[in-house]
Structure 1
Amino acid sequence: MNQDTPMLPSIEPATLEWREGQPVSARFGDVYFSRENGLEESRYVFLAHNRLPERFANLKAGDTFVVAETGFGTGLNFLATWQAFRDQAPSGARLHFVSVERYPLTSDDLRQALSLWPELESLADELCEQYPPLVVGNHRLVLASGDVRLTLYFGDALEALGELTFEADAWFLDGFAPACNPGLWNTSIIEQIRQHSRPGASLATFTAAGYIRRALADAGFAVQRVPGFGPKRDMIRGDLPPDGQNTGDGNGSILVVGAGIAGSLLARNLADRGRTVIVADRGEAPGTGASGNAQGALYAKLGVQFNDQTRLSLAALLHAQRYYPANTPRVWHGTGLLMMAGSEHERLRQQKFLQQNEYPDRILTPVSAEQARSLTGVPCPHGGLWFPGSGWLEPYRLCTTLLDHPNIRTEFGFRATRLLPCNNRWCLSGEGRQDLIADAVVIAAGHETRKLMPVLGEFRMKAIRGQVTSLPSGALTATPKAVVAGTRYLNPPMNGLAVTGATFDLHDSDPQERLSSHQENIAGLESMIPGLLSCDDLASSVSGRVSFRCTTHDYQPVVGALVNGDGRVLDGAWLFTGLGSKGLMWAPLLAEHLADCLTGQPAALPRSLARRVDPKRCLAEPVDTGVPVG
């Protein structure tokens, strides 16, 4: 590898030159936007020639309009589109913007570039607040309280179009001029653009090169050369013929079985998109199962190899770090988190991890034992990896907060007995309760999920017992001010108690608290942070809680269409389970992805990562579906 080339997952940022206060690409020697008036240029080239203002005005409540772009650059085109959508579209309509950028701007450069447009300040501030660290792959940003979504892929355009699942209503064929960036303009890209276009889709681009016009025409677009903006004499616009079909997302009701972290996040996501959701749970309140602990840490143990498994964990962690502060700030505590190198094995693993990967400091940074002590407030005997964007949540209050929405109806105390298809809908029966009927159903019932799946066959899912221990803050010689994770985790105190744990009890179905499990947690904590506990005999006087986490054979979640034992998809039935002990990390991104699938919107997960969570892989003897197993 070239010494000047960053290691994955970091991506090389754009190198800018600032000329008279405006950004110019040092790599390509081209401007990002017109020196005369970049915002008016975006409006003229992309918005006007895709007829976006009038198309936005003609949307109906519940419609989603998808714009795709081949070069995000400074984000000016996106903000101009967002502003026009905000001003023209009716209440209840939604905008989804898909964009790719091979050389993304740093967050500082992005802020400086967008500061040139004071009228976009409020939108630019929200974008910059959510702008992801510069790591390769897909990033989903939820903006304007869910009315606007941005799928931003950092990487090669052809790779992105092969990975992303969406159909666009309009295209901004941006990026630099063909002479500066010929790799962006080739027949493979044009073919992908056509494949990702809905009937009736439009396009516009700065360029008027003849070979590009011919390639777009060969792909089926009716192409026109029209006057350009400012000194540019010509540009191109085009359209695909419509097919007369309605491409709306529909508005059928959705039944979510389970009111834990997964079910609550999914229900809220769908409700925010205008869908009617029924949530059924056997408990008398939200989060009475594995999501009912008083405290839960948000963290990921990223792999040494930057493979698809690590990519998925990183994407989920970053999305969760954006989601909770923006949407549930009252139950989010952004204290930061230390992943302690508390054993020789973990120390060597972290050393190898740092040698083989380069992560932005916004995500993680190595710290010494002294730095760890300063950051966490406890006597850490070892250093480790510091995650400044992590922290902890209150899971029970989180579930309660998420389900408080007028589009969500809750049915607690619903002891489900049978789930069956009925007249192209789904019917859930419960003991002594009226049946619940909906157009689609999602089983998000944790370790109870398999019992409700109306299919035969063996699925590789299992329940793992976990007991947490709540320690009185007075029993600690120092008060943690950040989460410490290692052989155990320890949260900062809340209401005089700090939660630690949890046990990992395979093949153990005992639902009762056990003294031995408290002793195990306390011994693990004392080993991780010697001297933290002020007395020796704590186990007999502490409280705790037992829950059962659902996991799979490969310890990856299960999110997608329900299949039977032969691998055949059951229409309208979906699974959302297998989150293990990291539901707080997994659930926001996977709920976003599953809501995309249910509503027919651009998918949050690239195809390679969606395969990692596909339910088909959990079949004990899966059919040959092309989905990797394990």
Structure 2
Amino acid sequence: MDGDQPFSSRFDDVYFSRESGLDETRHVFLTHNRLEQRWTALSAGEHFCIAETGFGTGLNFLAAWQLWQACAPVDTFLHFVSTEKYPLSRTDLQRALAIWPELGPFSAELLSQYQDLTPGWQHFSFAGGRVTLTLLIGDLFDTLPQLDAAVDAWFLDGFAPARNPDMWQPALYQRMAELSRPGATVATFTSVGDVRRGLIAAGFAMQKVKGFGRKREMLCGQLEQAPASRWQAPWYARPNTTTERSAIVVGAGLAGCSTAHSLARRGWQVTVLERLPEIAGAASGNPQGILYCKLSPHHPPLSRFIQSSYQYSLRLLQRELEPGEGRWQACGVLQLGSDEKELRRQQGLADQGYPHSFLYAVNAAEASALAGVKVERSGLFFPGGGWVSPPALCRRLLEHPNIQVRTTTTIVELRRDDDQWQLLDENGNQLATSGTVIICGAHETARFAQTRHLALKPIRGQITHLPADNDSSRLKTVLCADGYVSPARQGQHHLGASFRFDRLDLVPSDEENQHNLELLLGLSPELHQHFSSTPPLGARVGLRCTAPDYLPLLGPVLKPDSFLQQYAVLGKDASQQPDEQAPWQPGLYVNTAHGSRGMISAPLSGELLAAWLNNEPLPLPRDLSEAVHPSRFLLRQLVRGKQTSRHKPGPAGQRQ
């Protein structure tokens, strides 16, 4: 930073014009993408997608948001996707945006959710759901190939071509064309000939126009010739979506409430059907859910999914739920090393340069100081983590005028009639109808004929309730290792949790209480000693739902028999690229198999479901959206044991 004027020492360049960066943004990107005219003409329910190269200070995003609020119809939606390899810290971003007081209300909302960003995809929701921001943190040549979006306008920004030649490349312009809707526009501050020729070669009709201030010329244009589309596995492609903006969500746990909330914020009318008498009455009913983010330094799909989900969940809590009063607390989470392997994993993460506000390593003495009780192991501290009451969050997510909730409503059969799903009870009576149904019923998702093929498994888990007193209430953070213990909430600590594969009843057992107390020994021998002679106040049992690869199932559902028949060629040669449209169950989606991570994974999963249904940019990279896609198990079933060593499918079914 140079005073309040942000300056990049890496590129030896300023982030925006010293004369008037905001006026330059309006001239280059807003005016020459004709945004005001296009936005005024939008119809109810439409969404518009802007993609940008180089988020920088967020000035372009905030200026676009300000214009959107001024001229777009109230029932339309803006999705802004931006790449950034070197994100600013929250402190520097706040200093930079203070230059523009007229953007103050928009800057304040951005800063309220913005923390120091980690690599990966960062998803934000603003203005009651009307404005969505997805930041792709990393090299754009890694992130843009993974973007699943249809872009209406491009802000081709970034440091000048002479300062940052690695960005201004034909591969970028080609990817822009591939991601563009027909007629998409582009504007950029530069008029460099190589940039103009590169965009023309990619299919954009470009022209030089008057630049801003001392810059004599700039470029703007429109996609004139769309490039040939690349092959995409049809079982991961987007199904046709209905124009009817209403849906039924089956299940009122974390997954169902998150899905309903994400759709309602986009203007959908949502009915939530729950078989139990209360919201979050099953596995989502624990008094305290832990914001637990276990990562791998090798960044497999599960770790990347958890990292993005964790950070979105923290934003959702900050936006939607007041802390305190037993609702949630950002008290921090200490992940303690339980053995040498775990210590190596933690050290590998600590060495990767994460922001200190996200995680950092602590020794046993530092961990004890943070926890407020004696801890005998080193570990990682996540300052933004903590605990939340899942029932309180679920109730808050359903407090939206577009959501109707019906409890004590058991669905036993789904039946498709023309373009509608009929939801029937045990007597065949129709309880509800809709063109779109999202099943969020944990392991019970698989009890319907249309979803019976899904690979779901229930696992019993019991938590133990312990009485809080003056000594135990010194515990200030969540402690995690093989188990976890929470700081006091309403006079109780919660300790867990067991994993039982041999029984699926919901009756608490003394054996599992004892097991949980043994887990406490590995967290804090001091606390274990304290509670060793104190009888538990009670226990609660729930059934987690997992998939074989421990990733959730999120997305549209196939007809299994038709799939296996239609793509049988893959059983002989997995490198084939069939083009025939996948046999979808029209309008049927699932959001399930969150295991013990639902507090982390459900909110972003709701956003992913809403993006599928609303035909928006997906909030996850394409390879991750395929890694959690329900189609993945049918694909594996088809090719299992029959692909050659030369043609093994890579992650998410892509060829290596």
Q: Is the 8 A contact 2:347 2:361 kept in 1?
A: no
Deviations 1:449-501 (A, max 9, x none): 111251564x3321000011111113964532221112221112222111111
Q: 2:328 aligns with which of 332, 343, 357?
A: 332
SS in 2 for 1:588: helix
Match of 1:606 in 2: 621
Q: Could you tell me which residue of structure 2 aligns to residue 301 of structure 1?
A: 294
Matches within 5 A, 1:41-60: 41-60=24-43
Q: CA deviation at 1:351?
A: 3.3
Q: Relative to 1, partners in 2 of residues 1:447 and 1:241: Cα closer, same or farther, differing over 3 Å?
A: same
Give how far 1:249 is off: 8.4
1:167 is aligned to 2:150: yes
Shift of the 271–594 alpha-carbon distance from structure 1 to 2, 3 Å rule, reads same
Tell me the SS of whatever aligns to 1:386. Answer: strand
CA contact (8 A) 1:140 1:150 kept: yes
Q: Which amino acid aligns with 1:613?
A: V
Q: Which residue of 2 aligns with 1:461?
A: 456
Q: Tell me the distance in 2 between the aligned counterparts of 1:626 and 1:206.
A: 42
Q: Which runs of 5+ in 2 are unaligned?
A: 227-239, 564-582, 640-647
Indicate the RMSD between aligned Cα atoms, in angstroms. Answer: 2.4
Q: What residue number does 2:118 align with?
A: 135
Q: Give the Cα–Cα distance (whole angstroms) in 1 for the partners of residues 650 and 607 of structure 2.
A: 21
Distance 1:431 1:411 in 2: 17
**Counterpart of 2:575?**
none
Task: Please name the residue that 2:584 is paired with.
Answer: 569
How far has the Cα of 1:239 moved from its partner?
1.9
CA distance, structure 2, for counterparts of residue 119 and residue 499 of structure 1: 47
Asked whether the equivalents of residues 376 and 480 of structure 1 are also in contact (C-alpha less than 8 Å), the reply is yes
CA distance 1:562–1:382, change in 2 (3 Å): same
Label 1:453 to 1:581 Cα distance change in 2 as closer, same or farther (>3 A): farther
TM-score by length of 2: 0.88
> Contact 1:560–1:576 (CA<8 Å) still a contact in 2?
yes
Q: Structure 1 CA distance, aligned partners of 2:383 and 2:589? A: 35
Q: Distance in 2 between matches of 1:491 and 1:217?
A: 59
**Residue 585 (structure 1) aligned to one of 587, 590, 600:** 600
Hey, what's the Cα distance between the residues in 2 that align with 1:212 and 1:577?
A: 46
The partner residue of 1:284 within 261, 272, 277 is: 277
- How far off its partner does 1:58 sit? 2.2
Q: Is residue 487 of structure 2 the alignment partner of residue 492 of structure 1? A: yes
Please list, as runs of the form range in 1=range in 2, the aligned pairs for 1:344-359 lying within 5 A after superposition: 344-355=340-351, 357-359=352-354
Q: Is the contact between residue 252 and residue 438 of structure 1 (CA under 8 Å) also seen in structure 2?
A: no
Q: Residue 388 of structure 1 corresponds to which residue in structure 2? A: 383
Is 1:521 the counterpart of 2:516? The answer is yes
Aligned residues: 607
Which residue identity lines up with residue 9 of structure 2 in the other structure?
A
SS at match of 1:404: coil
The 10-residue stretch of structure 1 (120-129 or 459-468) with the greater mean CA deviation from structure 2: 120-129
Please give the per-residue CA displacement for 1:584-623, whole angstroms capped at 9, x wherever unaligned: 0111111111111111111100012112211122349523
Hey, what's the Cα distance between the residues in 1 that align with 2:77 and 2:384? 29
- CA deviation after TM superposition for structure 1 residue 216, in Å: 2.5
Contact kept? 2:462, 2:541, Cα under 8 Å: yes
Aligned to 1:442: 438
Does the 8 Å contact 2:473/2:488 carry over to 1? no
1:262-273 aligned at under 5 Å gives the runs 262-273=255-266
Q: Determine if the alignment matches structure 1 residue 418 to structure 2 residue 413.
A: yes
1:57/1:248 CA distance change after superposition, 3 Å: farther
The structural deviation recorded for 1:35 is 1.8
Which amino acid is the alignment partner of residue 102 of structure 2? E
1:88 paired residue number: 71
Asked if the contact 1:132–1:139 (Cα under 8 Å) also holds between the matched residues in 2, the reply is no
Q: Is the 8 A contact 2:554 2:609 kept in 1?
A: yes
Taking the aligned partners of 2:591 and 2:650, their CA distance within structure 1 comes to 18
Tell me by how many angstroms 1:549 deviates.
0.4
1:67 and 1:96 in contact (8 A); partners too? yes
Q: How does 1:341-380 map to 2 (within 5 A)?
A: 341-355=337-351, 357-380=352-375
Structure 1 gaps of 5+ residues are 1-15
Q: 1:575 to 1:498 in 2, by over 3 A?
A: same
For 1:32 and 1:358, the matched residues in 2 are separated by 24
**What does the per-residue CA deviation read over 1:112-144, in whole Å, with 9 as the maximum and x for residues that have no partner?**
222211111222222233224332221111122
CA contact (8 A) 2:151 2:184 kept: yes
TM-score where L is the length of structure 1: 0.91
Distance 1:48 1:273 in 2: 27
Moved more, 155-164 or 287-296: 155-164
2:248 corresponds in structure 1 to: 255
Residue aligned with 1:182, SS: coil
Maintained 8 Å contact 2:249/2:440:
yes
